[in-house]
Amino acid sequence: MIPVSWYLTLAAILFSIGVYGFLARRNVIIMFLSIELMLNAANLNLVAVSHYLTDLRGQILTFFIIAVAAAEAAIGLGIVVALFRNKATVYADEIAQMKG
């Protein structure tokens, strides 16, 4: 059996990749994908621990997270579409109208 710590390490790596991608990339779509990575790192943690503790809470939370992530992605894409109509760009560094 694979020890639970392996899962946790994998999740940590996944989370770090997500954070890195989110901070480093300028394309809003890629940034969304990075957030998905972060969420899935949390999911992985939850499922692994849930299995390890034979407690269902973690898996329930995972289901909720997956559902919410879908809604979140839809809204995020909606915002990007609206933005694209006005500004014709999906690069985060090209939108800096408000500042100060």
Partner 1 sequence: MDTAPNFILTPLAPLAPELLLICLGLLLVVVDLFLGEKRHILPWLAALGTLTGLFLLGNGSGHFSDGLFGGMYILDAYSLFFKVICLIGVLFTVMLSVRYLDTEKMHQGEYYSLLVFAAVGMMVMVSAADMIVLYLGLELMALSVYCLVGLLKSDSRSNEAALKYFLMGAFSSGILLYGISLIYGMTGTTDLQLISQRLTELNLADNTLLFIALGMVLIAFSFKVAAAPFHMWAPDAYEGAPTPITAFMSVGPKAASFAVLGRILLSGFPELHVHWGPLIAGIALLTMATGNILAISQTNIKRMLAYSSIAHAGFALLGILATSNEGVSAIMNYMLIYAFMNMGAFAIIIMLNNRERRGEQLKDYRGLAQTNPVAAALMLIFMFSLTGIPPTAGFIGKFYLFLAAMNAGYTGTVIAAVILSAVSAYYYLRVVRYMYMYDSEKGEAVAMSPSLTAALIFAVIGVIGLGVAPGWVLEMASQSLPALAQ
Partner 2 sequence: MPIYLLLLPILPLGSFILTFLFGKRLGRKAHWLPICAVLSCFGCAVMALLDVINGVTINTDLYSWISSGSFQVSVGFLLDELTAVMLIVVTSISTLVHIYSVGYMHDEPGYYRFFSYLSLFTFSMLMLVLGNNFAQLFFGWEAVGLSSYLLIGFYYEKESAANAGKKAFIVNRFGDFGFSLGIILVFLTFGTLHYDQVFAQAASITDQTFPVFGMVFDLPTLIALLLFCGAIGKSAQLPLHVWLPDAMEGPTPVSALIHAATMVTAGVFLVARCNPLFALSTTALNVVTMVGAVTCLFAATIALVQVDIKRVVAYSTVSQLAYMFMACGVGAYSAGIFHLFTHAYFKALLFLGCGSVIHAMSSEQDVRKMGGLKKYLPVTYWTFLLATLSISGIPGLAGFFSKDAILAAAFSSPIGAGKIAWFVGTLVAGMTAFYSFRLFFLTFHGTFRGTEEQRHHLHESPATMTVPLILLAVGAVSAGWFCIPPILGGHAPWISFLAPVLGEPGEHLGHATEWGLIATSVGAGLVGIATATLLYVIRPEIPDRLRDAWPKVHSWLFNKYSIDELYDGALVQPAIRFSRKVLLHVVDGKLIEGVVNGIPQAIGSFGERLRKIQNGQVHTYLSVMSTGALAVLIWMLVR
Residues that bind partner 2 (CB under 8 A): 19, 22-23, 26, 92-93, 95-100
Residues near partner 1 (CB under 8 A) are: 8, 11, 15, 18-19, 22, 28, 31-32, 35, 38-39, 41-43, 45-46, 49-50, 53, 55, 57-58, 60-61, 64-65, 68, 71-72, 75-76, 78-80, 82-83, 85-87, 92, 95-100
27: helix, strand or coil: strand
Minimum separation from the CB atom of position 2 to partner 1 (A): 16
Residue 81 to residue 89: CA distance in whole angstroms: 9
Minimum separation from the CB atom of position 1 to partner 1 (A): 17
4 or 19: whose CB is closer to partner 2?
Answer: 19
* Rg value, the chain, Cα: 17
- The two structure tokens encoding residue 34: 């990075």
For CA atoms 51, 68, 71, 94, give the dihedral sign. negative
13 interacts with, out of partner 2, partner 1, none, CB within 5 to 8 A per kind: none
Residue 77 to residue 18: CA distance in whole angstroms: 18
